[in-house]
Structure 1
């Protein structure tokens, strides 16, 4: 398949804003962290934003959770391609599922909760870029390709059901802040190339004007052939940011524009993996995203103790998908078309405003805020029956027919508060709460305008007050203890409301039916831990956590390409995190271990036709049903995670690094009852993935002047492993020939990890 190169497409308003930033005198604001740093280094203080609106925060030692932070220097040092690449390799309690075989189409799981670009994955993490929530309105998914990696200044993971970050913060919130010209001055150009035909470029430029101005620009390109057959991808990212620091306030305006075409050819049956790991099952599987985001952040100091802050944004995105799937109605000679070509077009437009007021007067640090977010979605899907060629490409032979056409609207109004009260200089109490009022409306345009046999109209309203409380105690200047309890919620998105009937499975994201209503998910987290530091350069942490979800939203697959969303009684994620690190002049290292027990805590009957235990439970008598019981482990989540990282500077201008990560085994999707057993005849595959360990190495060498050579080897020992899997139905024999439907067999499909790869590049900085 020829590569589809994304085109640069800018909304007129976005283009005008970009020209304003590029041509006009602009200036910047100083963060609280920089203000503290300006006072001296006598006491280490790390300021963390505790609300989505940037500009205010508190000392990390006063946050009652195991918050994790890093900066752009670490991203640069590890030569991370994107957020999934970095988070999966560095942060504790994070694992990634490479179900699609594309570096930008990964599920990121933190403490058993996911932020994924794939519809059908239960979403449980909220992601913010400069205070703007980037979870897509239509399905709460996170498109990692739409986050400009080269523009990021800091990454903060705030764990728990933090109510201040609003909807979808069930297991945590990922807060990303971008660079500014005054904090990142100068010009840098980077070119990198190597395995899989990958070529990437990055150009950044930061500068200041006068005493208080800044402008930061970043542009990047990414092209590769992919390590699997027929898997080319391309990506273009543009970012611009400027602002002004006034005597009593500041503002900054940021523009992000991204356009990309990504191929993710999905998991393979284990029988095909044993022959050749780089082949594909059916194709194509292409996602084309275009997004423009314009955001404004401003703050005004009414006094030395009172600050007003605001975030205003408008965001527009278009997503087109093309999926070649097997035709579940294939039945020669009555139906001879073995494949079906599914196409979707999703257009989303969102706007929002958040206002926040903060008072800092000892012993209080009080923040009160309100926000309003609205989004409109238009979704249309077509189906066209077709044939399968020798490369397993679905070639449409019939005319495409519209099978679903809906519009949706989501409106959320929220008010929130956060109070940090110092009982004494070394003990702080934290109280916070957020009230969310969300309305989700869908209109069945297909039925109204085309007379389709669907009933997708809906109007649901969800309200919830979520509280949180915590305590921190600085036992000594080097030791902090903390404990907290919090509650968050997530409401069903339009795609989930339109795909919740087990009798009318949806080919995500390609079909919707009339469906029963869904409940909102409510999560409750308790956490306790200690953290500390001592000289020279040692840091450590230990924490335990427990999160329980009620009415969790799960996608239940029928083993082909279809399934449905449903509420599940209760699920639980509980675990332990341990971390230790040391940083010296020429050598630094860190080690992190996490234990996660993620389980169903209710009994239910769900459909999993390719599970060997289907139909064997006296309680679950429906066709293809299995019984899930309390204590069964959630699929896709390893219990044990171990990460080791080391960096060495042997000489001036040299830097060497190594990263090693190990994960224990996990159950695959479709084996939610953990009871699947292969028989070698009708059922194949264990229903589990084995544990694995992968090592990466990085190096850089300043060759003089502005130039630096960089290199990275991924999967150094060329390990063969899989990070995700499911129980499905294989329609092909060992020669990739299509079998009669009666001979299709239940088999395990695995998402293989990428083989060893080498990339080399040059970086120039002025």
Structure 2
């Protein structure tokens, strides 16, 4: 083994399997060019694993160094002690141990300050919130996090949404959560960026297969196989199949995705090509009013609510090492997707008719025969085509660790929406009226081009002091053509230079303090630009209108903290942060109709504290974290709602759906050489209800103020039968706790489950996202080959 020099030095040998942080040894010799070539492959994940065990006489003379990737494109990394932020990471081994149902559930259970909003009621349509910023699959939801897969941004150009069903979870090798408004991660990285790296035949040779069966008709199969083919060639393939009946009515879902990668690695050059295809049919039954929720937890408000999607993505990654310090990387990609959403909703005309007839059942126009259609079918279709190229030069020296890159992306998107009148049956399922035909009422075609230049340099000022300066310039042009409901041709240009500056200093061995300031931006998406006029409101994702101009969101983050690694068995982190958004984009209800529109709000803020502990005590591994988060409005203003009076906010008014306190505790105990027992506890404080942020409606019903806090317990156990076979079980929500993850104040035309008739008052109720009940899961896992 050849130890490497201090500073930015890297070892010449690395294990094939890669975690999210790359650990290498530090010694007194210069690094070798071969070591840098290996690092280029490893840092595409943001990490690689511990070097092979050193001889006994070397163990005590080598010191472990951890490096992280501050940018999404492969080939660039810096020592973790130099990174001025509370970066978090996990590996495929961590996911396998947790036995979580999917990626979003794993993140919510293990990552500090990550919470879930299950507003859609489907495990693959959940919203991830980190520091109050959202990563969602719901078109029209305000986004604030970016998602990368092998260096390629996965947020759709139309609405910055992500398709969780298309993420190849069976192929994920490493997860990195980068905090703050890091400009190197490009647009929409306001609160942070989530970077995923996939496996390869080089890093994961052998075969993995995992089959699990659970409550509510749940079944899942994950398969992966990798192989070294000789002369540097390698190949990997993985697939996931999932289906469930769902625990709520009419909520059966299914999905499948297939991932394949082939590549080659030589002394100086590495490249790979990956192909990802996915298909899904997901039922998301949304929020449920309290009057129905109290009667039956599994009920739905209205149906159907079904989304079908297909996606195909091709990625080419390559890197060439010119010498021990300089490398050039290139990424090319293309992606196309098609999604169709069909929903049965309450007709706005019927709601308006009920409101007009309140207390006047016998009046003119208020007879049952005068009622308009009570239901409406909304069918929306989204098609996107994305193309991009990125190139990056990086330099790794003893004083400077620098990167210079450029990126260009082209996105084309179309959105079309149709409606059809209908009526509800006794189960609140919408049925089309005989003879009615769909009516097209929204059509949009848009093109977005984005060009970026970025640079970063981490300077070693002193042996244990690092200064990191970064900047990224983005310019985006959108050209949107609206055909319906009114023809228009719109062009907008958004440009911004976003800088960041950070300082990190190692006070003592294992103790590092850091501070940073950064700026990021998010340009308005086509879905927001197409629905920004209060006079021509729309019901997303079911309508678009010609629009006034929306300003891009500018987010500025400051962060202070430290990390203490007392030994390989103890890791403690602390971070204090504040992020201010200027011209934040909110969705408001129209004051003249039940519809809504997007608008800029002068200023919002997310600030808080993150405290995390990882501790290994013999056979017991403990993980604990506490988060305190204030997500607030920071200006006087009004937010329109479906009600007569708007919500009046002032500086300090809390934003909806974000808990003030969160606590997580996890433990894994190796009971015997083959049996492991584990569990997790998640604690969340109450969350303000949307539409009642100012508390004005609380006098009508105290439940309209917030959703209650909750405590959830999950348990898991595994038995390694032999080196190849493993049996396991998991129980989520062990005590079958009844809880809600999100709430919204709204008008309920089905109080108690029965459709209102003229003359009755339309009540204001809290609509909630019911948490899933107890879930049992059993599975079997097979591994064969060398890892």
TM-score w.r.t. the length of structure 2 is: 0.89
TM-fit CA distance, 1:210 = 1.6
Determine the structure 1 residue equivalent to 2:459.
421
TM-fit CA distance, 1:652 = 1.4
Q: Secondary structure at the match of 1:754?
A: coil
TM-fit CA distance, 1:475 = 1.4
In the alignment, which of 528, 534, 545 is matched to residue 502 of structure 1?
Answer: 534
Determine the structure 2 residue equivalent to 1:659.
680
Determine the structure 2 residue equivalent to 1:731.
749
In the alignment, which of 620, 625, 640 is matched to residue 661 of structure 2?
Answer: 640
Change (3 A) 1:647 1:501: same
In the alignment, which of 518, 537, 543 is matched to residue 575 of structure 2?
Answer: 543
In the alignment, which of 629, 632, 638 is matched to residue 596 of structure 1?
Answer: 629
TM-fit CA distance, 1:362 = 2.5
Determine the structure 1 residue equivalent to 2:764.
746
Q: Secondary structure at the match of 2:535?
A: coil
TM-fit CA distance, 1:46 = 2.3
TM-fit CA distance, 1:561 = 7.2
Determine the structure 2 residue equivalent to 1:402.
440
Distance in 2, matches of 1:230 and 1:295, equals: 37
Q: Secondary structure at the match of 1:208?
A: strand
Distance in 2, matches of 1:704 and 1:363, equals: 49
Determine the structure 1 residue equivalent to 2:262.
242
TM-fit CA distance, 1:361 = 2.5
**1:324 partnered with 2:371:** no
- Residue-pair matches, total: 719
In the alignment, which of 637, 642, 660 is matched to residue 609 of structure 1?
Answer: 642
Determine the structure 2 residue equivalent to 1:586.
619
TM-fit CA distance, 1:661 = 0.5
Determine the structure 1 residue equivalent to 2:779.
761
**1:482 partnered with 2:514:** yes
Distance in 1, matches of 2:52 and 2:552, equals: 46
Distance in 1, matches of 2:66 and 2:461, equals: 21
Change (3 A) 1:51 1:112: same
Distance in 2, matches of 1:733 and 1:422, equals: 65
**1:348 partnered with 2:348:** no
Determine the structure 2 residue equivalent to 1:124.
144
**1:177 partnered with 2:197:** yes
Please list the CA deviations of residues 55-90 of structure 1 after superposition, one character each: whole Å capped at 9, or x if unmatched. Answer: 221111110000001100010111122221111111
Q: Secondary structure at the match of 2:752?
A: coil
Distance in 2, matches of 1:92 and 1:739, equals: 48
In the alignment, which of 297, 301, 304 is matched to residue 321 of structure 2?
Answer: 301
**1:63 partnered with 2:83:** yes
Determine the structure 1 residue equivalent to 2:6.
none
Determine the structure 2 residue equivalent to 1:715.
733
Distance in 2, matches of 1:140 and 1:316, equals: 15
In the alignment, which of 213, 222, 225 is matched to residue 233 of structure 2?
Answer: 213
Contact 2:534 2:590 survives alignment (8 Å) = no
Contact 2:75 2:327 survives alignment (8 Å) = no
Distance in 1, matches of 2:218 and 2:595, equals: 33
Determine the structure 1 residue equivalent to 2:247.
227
TM-fit CA distance, 1:455 = 4.2
Determine the structure 2 residue equivalent to 1:386.
422
In the alignment, which of 492, 499, 502 is matched to residue 470 of structure 1?
Answer: 502
Distance in 2, matches of 1:239 and 1:214, equals: 14
Change (3 A) 1:35 1:334: closer
TM-fit CA distance, 1:172 = 0.2
Please list the CA deviations of residues 421-472 of structure 1 after superposition, one character each: whole Å capped at 9, or x if unmatched. Answer: 11012001000000000011100233xxxxx4x2443111000000000001
Contact 1:329 1:335 survives alignment (8 Å) = no
In the alignment, which of 598, 605, 619 is matched to residue 565 of structure 1?
Answer: 598
Q: Secondary structure at the match of 1:481?
A: strand
Supply the RMSD in Å over aligned alpha carbons: 1.8
Please list the CA deviations of residues 281-313 of structure 1 after superposition, one character each: whole Å capped at 9, or x if unmatched. Answer: 011111111111100110011121110001110
Contact 2:125 2:164 survives alignment (8 Å) = yes
Q: Secondary structure at the match of 2:108?
A: helix
Task: Single out whichever of 389-398 and 422-431 deviates more from structure 2.
Answer: 389-398
TM-fit CA distance, 1:523 = 0.2
Matches within 5 A, 1:1-16: none
TM-fit CA distance, 1:536 = 5.8
Distance in 2, matches of 1:48 and 1:455, equals: 49
Contact 1:292 1:317 survives alignment (8 Å) = yes
In the alignment, which of 98, 101, 122 is matched to residue 78 of structure 1?
Answer: 98
Distance in 1, matches of 2:246 and 2:748, equals: 24
Matches within 5 A, 1:278-317: 278-317=298-337
Q: Secondary structure at the match of 1:762?
A: strand
